[in-house]
């Protein structure tokens, strides 16, 4: 820790650190989260803390310039925000060798899972390659947490070993949060029905839209801040995304909003995140990635001021800005219409999926395929009777004229 409330303390600590390193050479100095003191100078409003941070950074730069080949001191730093570092830190003679530690690919994830799975007893049917395929974007710590959660779930159910069901449960918990079936997140029947149709809209488009990832499962059990979730598995690790893939993802995102409007007679705030993500994709296609035929292969932004927290600065005239916004709206409207047409042509499939979600709460991909093919699922084996809205109203003896009407989706 370098920066303190007293001016000059940080710089003094830097000088002492490098002096001790030289006295104990050969030596390695490791500075973690260097962006805390190494941010780009000259940004933001000047303050006491700001001046202290700059003095500390200047001391680091001066000390690194004072090294000779005989000092035998190596300086290593780590950061997740290399984009905000002062350019002087990255010049030759200072931190001139950069090592990017990326998230593991599918082969790396399988190996990491194997290391952590070796610490617990796993069942013979466990396929770590399948779990690795379903965990894109997971870090090593996430994968370790996945194995730990799976082991806890197995112990909770008094199993002798960790099975695929435990790993599947753990993956969903790490990625999407803990299931919340009771308590403050327990849904009223009206919201439960709307959520079922919302997720069914996403689900059938996830299956039908060209270029979309494979469906994994769909649930109306609240997780984290979401009332439900449609989960998908990428076919492979991707580092780039095609225009067809982006347009397909956009159409899938609109499925929930369209299903609410068509089947429930109203729209809710539940689609806010879907709309935000779809808008972000459309803006990226037009402003950043040159995927608009009308606007051409041009980048219409001037970088990103991460240090100040500003959005991308648009370097265009007012007329061009209006054309850009019109093109974003055109792409969004086009994919919204495409998604609506697919749902209108497959109303019966969406209806079957929604009703099954209300009964089973969670459906995996094979079950969804059966429903979309017109097959019936075996009835849910349960002795728990869930009271309906009408039952609850009768139990509380509310007069008929004051009782709320039971919510029913509009089927036509």
Active site residue ranges: 199
Spatial separation of the C-alpha atoms in residues 50 and 396, rounded to whole Å: 62
Element (H, E) at 182: none
> Are the C-beta atoms of 168 and 128 separated by less than 8 Å?
no
Q: Which two tokens stand for residue 142?
A: 């996430």
| Prior bond of 26 cis (ω within 30°) | yes
User: Of 101, 15, 121, whose CA–CA distance to 64 is shortest?
Assistant: 15
> Are the C-beta atoms of 321 and 314 separated by less than 8 Å?
yes
Spatial separation of the C-alpha atoms in residues 410 and 412, rounded to whole Å: 6
Antiparallel, parallel or unpaired: β 27-32 and 73-78: parallel
Element (H, E) at 74: strand 73-78
Q: 3-state DSSP call for residue 30? A: strand
Spatial separation of the C-alpha atoms in residues 305 and 128, rounded to whole Å: 41
Burial 32-55 (b: 16+ CB within 10 A, else e): eebbebbbbeeeeeeeeeeebbbb
> Are the C-beta atoms of 78 and 30 separated by less than 8 Å?
yes
Beta-bridged to residue 39, according to DSSP, are 85
Location of structure tokens 């190996």: 111
> Are the C-beta atoms of 197 and 260 separated by less than 8 Å?
yes
Q: What does the chain come to in residues?
A: 412
């Amino acid at each position: 820790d370098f920066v303190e409330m007293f001016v000059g303390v940080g710089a003094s600590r830097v000088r002492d650190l490098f002096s001790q390193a030289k006295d104990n050479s050969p030596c390695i100095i490791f500075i973690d989260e260097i962006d805390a003191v190494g941010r780009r100078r000259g940004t933001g409003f000047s303050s006491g803390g700001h001046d202290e941070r700059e003095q500390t950074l200047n001391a680091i730069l001066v000390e690194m310039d004072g090294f000779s080949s005989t000092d035998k001191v190596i300086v290593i730093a780590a950061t997740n925000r290399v984009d905000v570092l002062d350019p002087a830190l990255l010049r030759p003679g200072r931190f001139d060798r950069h090592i990017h530690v990326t998230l593991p690919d599918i082969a790396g994830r399988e190996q990491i899972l194997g290391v952590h799975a070796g610490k617990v007893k796993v069942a013979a049917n466990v396929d770590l390659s399948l779990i690795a395929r379903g965990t894109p974007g997971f870090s090593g710590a996430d994968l370790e947490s996945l194995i730990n959660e799976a082991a806890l779930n197995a112990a909770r159910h008094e199993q002798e070993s960790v099975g695929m069901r435990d790993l599947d449960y753990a993956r969903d918990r790490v990625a999407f949060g803990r299931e919340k079936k009771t308590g403050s997140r327990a849904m009223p029947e009206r919201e439960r029905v709307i959520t079922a149709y919302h997720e069914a809209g996403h689900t059938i488009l996830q299956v039908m839209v060209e270029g979309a990832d494979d469906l994994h499962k769909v649930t109306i059990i609240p997780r984290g801040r979401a009332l439900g979730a449609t989960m998908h598995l990428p076919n492979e690790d991707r580092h780039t995304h095609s225009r067809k893939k982006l347009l397909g993802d956009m159409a899938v995102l609109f499925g929930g909003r369209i299903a609410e409007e068509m089947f429930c007679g109203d729209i809710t705030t539940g689609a806010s995140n879907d709309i935000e993500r779809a808008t972000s994709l459309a803006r990226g296609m037009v402003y950043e990635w040159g995927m608009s035929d009308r606007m051409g292969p041009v980048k219409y932004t001037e970088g990103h001021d991460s240090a100040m927290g500003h959005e991308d600065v648009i370097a265009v005239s007012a007329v061009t800005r209006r054309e850009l916004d019109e093109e974003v709206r055109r792409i969004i409207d086009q994919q919204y219409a495409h998604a609506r047409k697919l749902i209108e042509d497959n109303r019966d499939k969406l209806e079957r999926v929604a009703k099954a979600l209300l009964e089973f709460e969670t459906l995996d991909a094979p079950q969804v395929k059966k429903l979309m093919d017109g097959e019936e699922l075996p009835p849910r084996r349960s002795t728990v009777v869930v009271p309906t809205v009408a039952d609850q109203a009768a139990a509380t003896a509310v007069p008929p004229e004051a009782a709320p009407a039971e919510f029913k989706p509009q089927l036509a």
